[in-house]
Amino acid sequence: MADQIRVRFAPSPTGFLHVGGARTALYNWLLARRTGGVFVLRIEDTDRERSSGEMTQAILDGMTWLGLNWDEGPVHQADGLERHKGDVGRLLAQGAAYRCFCTPEELQARRDVMKEEYRYDRRCAAIPADESVRRAEAGEPFAVRFRVPEGDTAWDDEVHGDTRFKNESIEDFIILRTDGTPIYNLAVVSDDIDMRITHVIRGDDHIANTPKQILLYQAMGAAVPRFAHLPMILGPDGKRLSKRHGATAVGQYAEQGILPEAMNNFLALLGWNAGDDVEVMTMDELVQRFSLDRVNKKSAVFDTAKLEWMNGQHIALTPAENLLPLVAPLLVSSGLLAAEEVESRREWLLHLLQELRIRGRTTLEIAAQARTYLVDEVEQYDEASIAKHWKNADETAQRLAAVRAALAAVEPWTAEGIDAALRATAESAGVGLGKVAQPLRIALVGQAASPGIDFVVHTLGRDRVLRRIDRALERLRGAAA
């Protein structure tokens, strides 16, 4: 085994990069980065009928979005076909494998008789080698089966510890189809040997493949890598995560306003314990903390609310300069900003995002909150806020009119000048600042919850503030009439 750790992520391009695959990729990447190892990306595309270039690109895009850069690859498994066949030939030559001439119809007939108890009866294993060669050279179709030895196959799993299978429970499995293409287990082992893979980190659903693969490593005279089988990811209902639980492809989460840093943080904790009760971590912190000995055996539950909470934590930690490229396109696509305004109003937008970043769980929510500061009028008033803070229409109208006059006189338009004007208005009315600020807040944003009133007034700008106060006064006077 090589001194340097070498790991691989080997998705099949028959679908998008899903949550489970993304977590597997992340754990492999983290181990490589933690140990100074090598992270290899291999596309397992030997299933030509189901594989597609579109899905391969989707996987690469998902990996790129997550920031899981690979050191070698992407290597396409299909390109190793001749090596795979060569390995099968060597197994045949040493007697570790044999040709099987049974037809699919014959095999199915035996299955129909034996039902669940069916295992291949090894009848072709008894064919003498020279006869096997003669029949193959005569053009008789055949598959190649691996000859499973007696005994047990065991390994010390990095997650599950000692794991053992009785070889008698494993039938002589096919390693080469009748069309000359390799079966998954053979191709994987051949590739891992060729790539000098030292650690195989993958989902629990591969455990049944592991004894077959270990037997192949041994038959090929290669070192057996360390195996770590990760717990399954379940939906809130306790069943395996699937489309019925919502988005499962990582690209969909990008569209929903999730940051890649948050997604990686969330995925890392689906089956791994960072210790010290820490939850929110940067990629650098994940790398520093990661180890396979903290991976849990128990299945993890995918909690969308927890993901959104964590995303909110990461958004709050993200500088406004980094948020702008994520939020600005949403504002442009919704018609709130012209494309050229993103640059011309850059400082104003950064000022806005600096405040809003602590108030949203997704970039979509941040964009929705920014809408208030970009439209001309208040689009909707919260009736509960009005009932509480505008209940005396005459009194509220008098205070808003006084606030309007004070704000109209602020020069220059600064947060400090605005704060002084609001405090002076409250003092003149003989009330606390809140009795002025809350009615004004509703007039400006339609509800009683918002960032600080100085920020709201300053960010909206004088013209928009005065216009919204005028609309509120119209409403209040109409209610009082």
Work out the burial of residue 412: count CB atoms within 10 Å of its CB; fewer than 13 is exposed, 13-18 middle, 19 or more buried: exposed
Q: Give the C-alpha separation, 41 to 29, whole Å.
A: 10
The label of the residue with tokens 């609001």 reads 422
Per the annotation, the verdict on 297 as an active-site residue is: no
Decide if 357 contacts 364 (C-beta within 8 A): no
SS3 call for 362: coil
Decide if 231 contacts 294 (C-beta within 8 A): no
Beta-carbon contacts of 105 under 8 Å, excluding residues fewer than 6 positions away, are none
The label of the residue with tokens 């799993």 reads 157
Q: Give the C-alpha separation, 104 to 92, whole Å.
A: 21
User: What is the residue-wise DSSP string for 281-340?
Assistant: --HHHHHHH--GGGB-SSPEE--HHHHHHHHHHHHHHS-HHHHHHHHHHHHHHTTSS-TT
Q: Give the C-alpha separation, 63 to 66, whole Å.
A: 5
Does the CA dihedral 157-201-251-349 come out positive or negative? positive
Give the residue among 47, 18, 50 at the shortest CA–CA distance from 203. 18
Q: Give the C-alpha separation, 323 to 257, whole Å.
A: 11
Give the residue among 42, 44, 40, 24 at the shortest CA–CA distance from 32. 40
SS3 call for 377: coil
Element (H, E) at 350: helix 346-356
Give the residue among 307, 331, 114, 91 at the shortest CA–CA distance from 219. 91
Among residues 212, 239, 243, 388, which one is catalytic? 243
Element (H, E) at 230: strand 226-230
Does the CA dihedral 307-311-312-314 come out positive or negative? positive
> What residues act catalytically?
243
